[in-house]
Structure 1
Amino acid sequence: MPLIDGLTSLWDRLLSAQPDPPQWLVLLTAAVALVVVATRLPWRIARNTITIAHEGGHALVALLTGRKLRGIRLHSDTSGLTLSAGRPSGPGMVLTLLAGYVAPSLVGLAGAWLLGGNRITLLLWVAVALLLAMLLLIRNVFGVVSLLVTGGVVLAVSWYASPQVQAAFAWTGVWFLLFGGVRPVAELQRMRTWGRMPESDADQLARLTPFPALFWVALFALVNLLALAVGAALLAGPVLNAAGLTG
């Protein structure tokens, strides 16, 4: 039947593995992502993607810990806010606050794992599905536009672009999440030092736990650096294989 054949073809396309990318693509996409993260204007534009992952992390953990999610707001200055209802203290609140700064790096690590198996199409479609799910929780116009644009770009690449373009897009995006997850932690501590973020996630965690805010900032940094190291090893697999550095 045409419908069954079409669904089978779609399923095969979703789960099939693409060939290993060329070495130059892996290295070039890493360099591009690093330049974006390290350069002021490109970072200012692309940082909204990190904010989406950050607020998505808060929202997901709030739901998983039984809190009632009120909504998510994304702002044009790349800040965001996730509102949830429930106990103002306890493990659920602690985990919800903890999730934000580590979410971009952990999402990047999950993406690196998929790309390590060359599941490029699956990665892009999972990204679209997550963005659509998050769209239902957005409570302001800028947030809606941000998610529609981001999801639309990912969907268009996954559906219309050539395999080479899909690979370049996917590798750049995952490298960006891994590198980009580290920078906001440094920015957080710098803003805290200047006294400009008294209600940061780290400071709220300090009020809810016996540990000072600096402990939580250090934990954010440690998790994100570990995710970067592991994710980079997964993404660099084709390069290491070509160089004969893996078994």
Structure 2
Amino acid sequence: MDKFWAHLIKVQPDPDPWVVVVSALVALVIVGFRMPWQVSRGLITIAHEGGHALMALLTRRKLEGIRLHSDTSGVTLTRGRPTGPGMVLTALAGYLAPPLLGLGAAWLTEQGRITLLVWGVLLLLVCMLLLIRNLYGALILLVTGGAVFALIMYAPADIQQVVALVSVWFLLFGGIRPIIELQHKRRRRQARDSDADQLARLTFLPGGFYVFFFLLVSLASVLFGAYLMNPL
């Protein structure tokens, strides 16, 4: 265990500046273009539903389970009071989870704790797998977790570092696009049960306020994450 802990917390050297810049550009291409975004958007959904689930547990709501669907949507089922702070915080956590997770990952990356970051992601995926209640959700988590485990076991440290950098940028950039998509759907009245509209029914503030709040937190996370990983 002492050897494993030492391996877990070891500090990797800082990446070359061009590696940080290229990884950011790769993540931006993945998020910005339709085809790679459709393939990878499910990873943002995993973080989104994980945020709902974690906040439900922290506010002592009964967590029934999580479902991930092939159209990259998802739902987290909880039981408890239909109103009140617990329900509000649980609804808030979804769209905030990817950018805040990316910000935390950026901090670990800046500290050189790449190994700790990758093992932490694997642990979160395993915990989430225990809460999945549909076959597709279990399959996508097994595939993602298997890829992370293979990265840990077989990839050299410099490859792990590059993958971690791309993943951090992907979480930061990928937290913004679903919020923009949400607002477009709300304008066409196609998202009446979205997190923002549920929050509007739970509080005295309109749904547009929550969309703005989600976007503000996401943009702030990108800026602060970029500051942390600034190669200069």
What TM-score bracket applies, with the shorter chain setting the length?
Answer: over 0.9
Matched, 1:11 2:18: no
SS at match of 1:125: helix
Q: Aligned-pair distance for 1:8?
A: 2.1
Partner Cα separation in structure 1 for residue 15 and residue 25 of structure 2: 15
Amino acid at match of 1:151: G
2:125 is equivalent to residue 150 of structure 1: no
The aligned runs of 1:139-178 (5 Å cut-off) are 139-178=133-172
Output the CA distance in 2 between the equivalents of 1:74 and 1:175: 23
Instruction: State how far apart, in whole Å, the 2-side matches of 1:197 and 1:119 are.
Output: 39
Q: Report the secondary structure of 2:75's partner residue.
A: strand
| Cα distance in 1, alignment partners of residues 8 and 154 from structure 2 | 14
Which TM-score applies when normalising by structure 1? 0.93
User: Of the candidates 33, 49, 74, which is equivalent to residue 27 of structure 2?
Assistant: 33
Q: Aligned-residue CA RMSD in angstroms?
A: 0.6
Q: Which residue of 2 aligns with 1:70?
A: 64
Partner of 1:111: 105
Q: Residue 128 of structure 2 aligns with which residue? A: 134
- How big is each residue's C-alpha offset from its partner over 1:113-149, in whole Å with a ceiling of 9 and x where there is no partner? 1001010000000000000000000000110011111
The structure with the larger Rg is: 1
Q: Which amino acid aligns with 2:75?
A: L
What pairs up with 1:219-238 in 2 under 5 angstroms? 219-236=213-230
Is 1:216–2:210 an aligned residue pair? yes
**Structure 1 gaps, min length 5:** 1-6, 241-247
Shift in Å at residue 24 of structure 1? Answer: 1.1
Structure 2: stretches of 5+ with no match in the other structure: none
**Secondary structure in 2 aligned to 1:224?**
helix
Give the distance between the partners of 2:126 and 2:39, measured in 1 at CA.
21
Q: CA deviation at 1:155?
A: 1.4
> Structure 1 segments of 4 or more deviating over 4 A?
none
Letter of the 1:74 partner, please give it: L
Secondary structure of 2:200's aligned partner: helix
Residues 61-100 of structure 1 mapped to structure 2, 5 A cutoff: 61-100=55-94
Where 2:81 maps in the other structure, the secondary structure is: coil
Instruction: Supply the distance in 1 between the matched residues of 2:100 and 2:143 (Cα, whole angstroms).
Output: 23
CA–CA separation in structure 2 for the residues paired with 1:46 and 1:234? 24
Mapped partners of 2:168, 2:197: distance in 1: 29
What's the counterpart of residue 21 of structure 1?
15
The alignment status of 1:43 with 2:37, answered yes or no, reads: yes
Once residues 8 and 58 of structure 1 are traced to their aligned partners in structure 2, the CA distance between those partners, rounded to angstroms, is: 34
Whole-Å separation in 1 of the counterparts to 2:150 and 2:13: 21
Q: Deviations over 1:87-122 (max 9, x none)?
A: 000000000000000100000001001001010000
Aligned pairs, number: 232
Deviation at 1:235, TM superposition (A): 1.5
Residue aligning to 2:189: 195
Task: Give the C-alpha shift of residue 167 in structure 1.
Answer: 0.5
